[in-house]
Amino acid sequence: MLLKALVVDDEHDVVELVAYTLVKGGFEVITAGNGLEALEKVRLHQPDVIVLDLMMPELDGFEVCRELRRGLATAEIPVLLLTAHRGEIVRLAGLEAGAWDYFTKPFVPRELLARVNDLIRKDHTH
């Protein structure tokens, strides 16, 4: 059975690259272009891991993380933030909002896949 990953970003090129990387790594991939769509896709598909941009229209990544952590069915889904923001304050805010890891753009696809796989391993050791 394939693990499901939800990729959320308002930049189509980023979604395509992340989705391609994860599919090559053995994941089934679902995509969303903003935070509201992301929450809807989470409810519909119950992904095993989420790769989430921070700065998006509708609902930003911080609020998506907080909303996921409030839900009984979604509280334990691992979230990797993928963002252009490199500052410590933003990284800490993301982790405090409920992300499990933080990764900056531009990124090396193999490292992204390694980090996602690491989150899946950590999730199964809870």
> Could you tell me the residue range of the domain that residue 12 belongs to?
3-124
At residue 126, does pLDDT exceed 60? Answer: no
Number of domains composing the chain: 1
Structure tokens at 95: 């982790």
pTM of the full structure: 0.95
Phi and psi at residue 73, in whole multiples of 5°?
-80, -15
In this prediction, residue 40 carries a pLDDT of 97
- Residues 98-113: tens digit of each pLDDT: 999 999 999 999 999 9
Across the range 70-78, mean pLDDT stands at 95
- Residues 18-46: tens digit of each pLDDT: 999 999 999 999 999 999 999 999 999 99
At residue 61, does pLDDT exceed 70? Answer: yes
Across the range 117-122, mean pLDDT stands at 93
d(CA 78, CA 61): 13
At residue 10, does pLDDT exceed 90? Answer: yes
* Closest by Cα among 47, 24, 52, 30 to 109: 24
* Closest by Cα among 74, 88, 82 to 41: 74
**Range 86-91 contact pairs with CB under 8 angstroms and sequence separation of 24 or more:** 90/54
In this prediction, residue 125 carries a pLDDT of 65
* Closest by Cα among 46, 52, 3, 49 to 32: 52
